[in-house]
């Protein structure tokens, strides 16, 4: 595929990130952006309709994330992928382990061009100079999906990179005091300062947070158990957790047993 124009699809829920990728693609040459998608659902539909050689795929998106796109479309039907991610610890280790290329946000033009050149070389080797149907799944993608689906996987991110305006603010997971539900999003607190995440509380609990440290204490709250300074009884099994910074978080009767698995109550 040397010299041939690569048809690329950009998938990212951040408009500024999509704009940045399009600008870099236009300057790179021999790269045509055939579409942009806001989330994973749009990407699945676009891949079914369009002939795409290269996919710039954001990992963290509402509704359906990047890994969900691969699982739904199927590794055998995926084009070449360059992942875009804000997770310097969580996702990057997996990408590197399976030799998958990624752009860690925020990235510069040199990093973009390096990833693109590797994609060009792999596309040329795959096609042998001609565009052809992918008959077998990319073993690297298959390995990544198996890794993510492995129930024995215990790795948890040490930090979260949270989009704030035109940049990403990195927050150490150990510094998080508690997290509350905010519709389809979540709001985490560090020293009483809130940060909005485009993930539900259930997703954070299942996929991101270490269950040995973070405990669900209410349908709308998760608490870092190391930050609990006191527990006040409210009667009928209800509790109020007082965090080290003075914040009060309710623990409902339904979730009390989970708390008692993390905090030993003496009699």
Q: Which two tokens stand for residue 58?
A: 């954001």
Query: What residue ranges define each of the domains in the chain, with the CATH number in brackets?
Result: 6-149 (3.40.50.2300), 166-260 (2.40.50.1020)
Q: Tell me which of 141 and 147 has the higher pLDDT.
A: 141
CA angle 176, 58, 189 (to 5 degrees): 15
Q: Using 50, 70 and 90 to split pLDDT, how confident is the model at 148?
A: low
The residues that bridge with 189 in the sheet, in sequence order, are 178, 194
Kind and range of the H or E run holding 83: strand 80-85
On whether the CB atoms of residues 164 and 170 are closer than 8 A, the answer is no
pLDDT of residue 131: 46
For 153-171, how does the pLDDT look when each residue is reduced to its tens digit (9 = 90+)? Answer: 556 788 888 877 777 888 8
For 212-231, how does the pLDDT look when each residue is reduced to its tens digit (9 = 90+)? Answer: 899 999 999 999 999 999 99
pLDDT of residue 134: 47
Q: Is the pLDDT of residue 137 over 70?
A: no
Q: Is 198 helix (H, G, I), strand (E, B) or coil?
A: coil
Q: Which two tokens stand for residue 254?
A: 């339904």
pLDDT of residue 135: 46
DSSP symbols for 211-254? TTTEEEEETTEEEEGGGEEEEEEEETTEEEEEETTS-EEEE-GG
Residue 111 to residue 116: CA distance in whole angstroms: 9
Q: Is 40 helix (H, G, I), strand (E, B) or coil?
A: helix
For 169-210, how does the pLDDT look when each residue is reduced to its tens digit (9 = 90+)? Answer: 888 899 999 999 999 899 999 999 999 998 899 889 888 898
Q: Is the pLDDT of residue 78 over 60?
A: yes
pLDDT of residue 267: 64
Kindly give the residue spans of alpha helices, DSSP state H, lying in 74-197. Answer: 90-97, 109-127, 139-149
For 9-39, how does the pLDDT look when each residue is reduced to its tens digit (9 = 90+)? Answer: 999 998 999 999 999 999 998 999 999 999 9
Q: Is 241 exposed, middle or buried (0-12, 13-18, 19+ CB in 10 A)?
A: buried
Q: Which two tokens stand for residue 229?
A: 């300074």
Nearest to 88 by CA among 16, 169, 21: 169
pLDDT of residue 266: 77
């Amino acid at each position: 595929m040397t010299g041939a124009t690569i048809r690329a699809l950009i998938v990212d829920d951040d408009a500024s990130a999509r704009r940045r990728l399009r600008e870099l693609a236009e300057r790179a040459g021999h790269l045509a952006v055939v579409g942009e998608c806001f989330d994973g659902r749009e990407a699945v539909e676009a891949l079914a309709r369009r002939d795409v050689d290269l996919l710039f795929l954001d990992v963290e998106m509402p509704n359906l994330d990047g890994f969900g796109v691969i699982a739904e479309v199927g590794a055998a039907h995926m084009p070449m992928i360059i992942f875009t991610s804000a997770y310097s610890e969580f996702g990057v280790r997996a990408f590197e382990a399976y030799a998958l290329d990624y752009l860690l946000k925020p990235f510069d033009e040199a990093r973009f061009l390096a990833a693109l050149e590797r994609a060009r070389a792999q596309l040329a080797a795959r096609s042998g100079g001609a565009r052809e149907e992918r008959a077998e799944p990319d073993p690297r993608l298959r390995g990544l999906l198996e890794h993510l689906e492995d129930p024995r996987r215990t790795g948890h991110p040490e930090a979260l990179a949270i989009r704030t305006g035109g940049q990403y603010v990195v927050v150490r997971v150990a510094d998080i005091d508690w997290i509350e539900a905010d519709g389809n999003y979540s709001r985490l607190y560090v020293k009483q300062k809130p940060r909005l995440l485009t993930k539900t509380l259930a997703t954070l609990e299942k996929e991101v947070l270490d269950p040995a440290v973070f405990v669900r204490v209410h349908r709308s709250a998760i608490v870092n158990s190391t930050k609990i300074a006191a527990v006040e009884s409210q009667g009928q099994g209800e509790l109020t957790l007082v965090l080290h910074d003075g914040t009060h978080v309710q623990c409902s009767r339904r979730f009390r047993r989970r708390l008692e698995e993390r905090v030993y109550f003496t009699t």
